[in-house]
Chains A and B, each alone.
Chain A
Amino acid sequence: MLPTPSTSHVCFDNVYEPAEDSYLLLDTLSNAHEVAFLTKRFDKNTPPPIVLEVGTGSGVVLAFVTAQSENIFGRRDVITLGTDINSFACRATAKTVETASKENASTSGIFSDTIIGDLTSPLRNNSVDVLIFNPPYVPTEELPDTSNQEHYNKLSSSTSTSTDAFERDSHLLALSYAGGHDGMETTNRLIDNLPSILRNKSGVAYILLCAQNKPDEVKTRIHAWGNGWTAEKVGDSGKKGGWEKLQILRIWQNLETG
């Protein structure tokens, strides 16, 4: 078992606390099957892969991938980046990743930065080799209104009233879980953009889904893109009452002949 990065410095009043879904991503990305896949696909003799985590929250997943770069990719020149719409999450992530990277200097890749932004919007097209997303996947009536996001991101705890801080924290936490219709409204926006943002032919995405997200429909939709686009389950949380609660889809262009 590779060590789980520490997030003890993070204030979880307004940043998503690592939970079963986060740990499922850690386990999946470091299991022998995925390590073999990633090590082969991003062979040492190719330029360093760029890893982007969308919605980093506490940063536990990005910190793990950065710190364990040698164990996951078989190389220490992997570059990692994170985005989150929540500025508190971005600051927390930077600290989590930098700490884990220092503590695992002999296996760590290169942490580039975290950026406040919506999904992949700050990134150049055709630039991401590995995209990781633990989405807001809980079905809800509607998505949180982000038109006032700047206001919430700037509201500092020291100068705001407790009512304001409570409203801000409720909003920021809602962003981490509320997924709208089928819990898929945000995830669908990200999936639709995958063929643009992932590096042509070699890019891979890992997306966590819950049963209510109708993962089979997601797979069918991706296969319908053609050009070798494939979505396969590569990790799950085990069966509870006959159905899998959480699973991780690997989405990539499978261009091997056959």
Chain B
Amino acid sequence: MKILTLNFLTCARKACKPQATSFPLHPADSTLEIQESDLNIIFLQNILPRLDWPALISITTELGLPGLQAEPPEAEDLVVKEGGAKAEGEGMEVTEKSEESEKEASQLGKDLHRLLIETTIQEGKLMCACCGHEYAIKEGIANFLLPSHLV
């Protein structure tokens, strides 16, 4: 299960959903695995407003991953800044920009890709801070079925 997915999940119990403490779920006893994949810079830049950054900070801390900056980055922080060495030479021919494809991910962009998309929880559990229920993750798939007395 990708860390990105945790941004969308909450406790499956009806009573917990309206409670602020039911998000994010808290990972524990996790076995992590990196699954490499292509970096999609447009995705990374566009997902920023949909990410709950404080939740992401708490999740990474609980997983023992490198700390995130306190404030969410801006879209432009995720790409290598234009107007670097290349543009300095005056009279240099301006190469045409094929707007999106040329963007190159900055270190921050690469780190965010690694965290959201490539870091997966293979085994472990997710705990709801509201009711204390734990959801198991096995073979990379989380199980949100509730025992009948909790539905």
Contact = CB atoms under 8 A, between A and B. Distances in A.
Q: How large is the interface on A (under 10, 10 to 19, 20 to 34, 35 or more residues)?
A: 20 to 34
A181 B47 CA distance: 41
Contacts, number: 95
B12 A117 contact: yes
B69 interface: no
A47 B50 contact: yes
A63 to B, nearest CB: 16
Contacts of A105: 38
A7 to B, nearest CB: 18
Contacts of A83: 144
B40 A76 contact: yes
B78 interface: no
Interface residues of B, number: 30
Nearest to A149: B145
Interface stretch (A84-92, A225-233, A250-258): A84-92
Given A114-B141, A124-B23, A48 B43 contact: yes
A182 interface: no
Interface of B: 1-2, 4-5, 8-10, 12, 17, 23, 38, 40, 42-43, 46-47, 49-50, 117, 139-148, 151
Interface of A: 47-48, 50, 75-77, 79, 81, 83, 85, 87, 90-91, 94, 105, 109-110, 112-118, 121-125, 127, 147, 149-150, 153
Given A87-B141, A150-B147, 18 more contacts: A47-B47, A47-B50, A77-B43, A91-B139, A94-B140, A94-B141, A110-B117, A112-B5, A113-B142, A114-B141, A115-B141, A116-B142, A117-B12, A117-B143, A122-B10, A124-B9, A124-B10, A125-B17
